[in-house]
Amino acid sequence: MGRTHALSGWCAGLAVAPLVGAGTVHQALAFAATTAGFALLPDLDHPGAGASRLLGPITGVLSWLLRHASAGLYAITKGPRDEDSKGTHRHLSHTVLFAAGIGALTMWGTRAGGWYAVAGVVIFGLLLAADALGDWLLVVAGGAAVWWALTASAEGELQQLTGWLGIAVAVGCFAHCLGDSLTEAGCPFLFPVPIAGETWYELRPPKLLRFRTGKRVENLLFVPVFVVLGVLLVPGTWDGLVQIFDHQTVNAGN
C-alpha cells in the first residue's frame, strides 16, 4: 500500500543520506522526503494510483504514456515462459533500469536547474508522500521549511543537494520494487535479465514468506516497524535518546 511504500522510502532515504554526503539534518530530511515520495512513483503505471491522480490531467497523461510504453516494451521483449499479460502495471516502472533512468534524469535536471530544480523535486516528493500518508505531512513540512530558513542557509544547502537527489529518486523507486517483491505477485525488477525462460521474472521470497497487500502482515508488522525506524534514523535522535537514558541512569544511581 502507498503508506508502506512511503514509510519504507523515508527509512531508506535516511539510511542512504549520510553515504552520499547529505550531512546536515536539513539535507538528510530533504533527501528522505524525496525518497519517501518517489517510492510511490512506480505505481504511476496504474490509472487508479495516487501518483497518477496527483496533478490531475498532467500526471494522468504521464500515466497513460507510461502504461503504453510498458505494454509495448513487454510485447517485444517477453520470454517464452512469461505470463500472458498486457505488460502495463508492475512492469517497466518496476525495474532497476527505470529507477536508474529516472535517477539519472533527476541528477541531470537538478545540476542544470540549480537549487530551484532541487526544491521542485523535493516538493513533488512531499506531495506524493502526503497523498499516501495524509495532509498533516505538508503542515509538518511547512514548519520544517520555516525552521530551515531561520537556522541555516536553505538556498545554499539545497544547492549542495544538486545531483544527490538523483540518488534519492533512484533509491525511492528501488525501495518500491523491493517492497513489491515481498508480496504474492512479486516484482520483475531485474528485467531484462532472463531467469527460467522469463525476461520479466517476478522475484519473490518462498511462498510462506510472502504477504498479501493491505492485510495483517503489512498493517501490523511493516507499518509499525517503519514508523519506529523512521524516527530513530533521523540524525541526532538516537544520540538524544542515549543521553536521556544515561541521564536517567545516573539520577537513579544517585
DSSP letter string, 38-51: HTSGGGGGSTTSHH
Lowest-pLDDT range of 115-119, 155-159, 217-221: 217-221
Helices (H), the chain: 2-20, 25-38, 50-53, 57-77, 96-133, 136-151, 154-160, 164-180, 216-217, 223-232, 237-253
**In this structure, is the dihedral angle defined by the CA atoms of residues 21, 179, 123 and 93, taken in order, positive or negative?**
positive
Give strand pairing partners of 183: 211
What's the total number of domains in the chain?
1
pLDDT of residue 81 exceeding 80: yes
DSSP string, 196-224: TTBTT--B---GGG-B-TTSHHIIIIIHH
Distance of CA 195 to the CA centre of its chain: 26
Contact by Cβ (8 Å): 91, 70: yes
Q: What is the DSSP letter of 142?
A: H
Contact by Cβ (8 Å): 2, 132: yes
142/64: higher pLDDT:
64
Stretch 43-51: mean pLDDT: 94
Q: Which residue has the cell 537527489?
A: 165
Instruction: Give the confidence band of 17 by pLDDT, cuts at 50, 70, 90.
Output: very high
**In this structure, is the dihedral angle defined by the CA atoms of residues 157, 158, 163 and 167, taken in order, positive or negative?**
positive
Stretch 124-143: mean pLDDT: 90
Q: What is the DSSP letter of 84?
A: S
pLDDT of residue 10 exceeding 60: yes
Q: Could you report the per-residue pLDDT of 156-208, keeping only the tens digit for each?
A: 777 888 888 999 999 999 999 999 998 888 899 999 999 988 999 999 988 87
Half-sphere exposure of 137 (CA within 13 A, CB side): 22
218/60: higher pLDDT:
60
Q: Which pLDDT does position 187 carry in this prediction? A: 93
pLDDT above 90 coverage of the chain, percent: 53
Q: Could you report the per-residue pLDDT of 223-251, keeping only the tens digit for each?
A: 788 888 888 888 777 666 666 665 566 56
Q: Copy the grid coordinates of residue 46.
A: 496504474
Q: Which pLDDT does position 252 carry in this prediction? A: 60
CA distance linking residue 26 with residue 6, whole number of Å: 19
Write out the residue range of the structural domain in which residue 52 sits.
2-253
Across all residues in the chain, what is the average pLDDT? 87
| Greatest mean pLDDT among 21-35, 95-109, 134-148 | 95-109
Could you tell me which residues come within 8 angstroms of residue 75 by beta carbon, excluding any fewer than 6 positions away?
A: 87
pTM for this model (two decimals): 0.89
Give the residue among 202, 161, 163, 166 at the shortest CA–CA distance from 79.
202
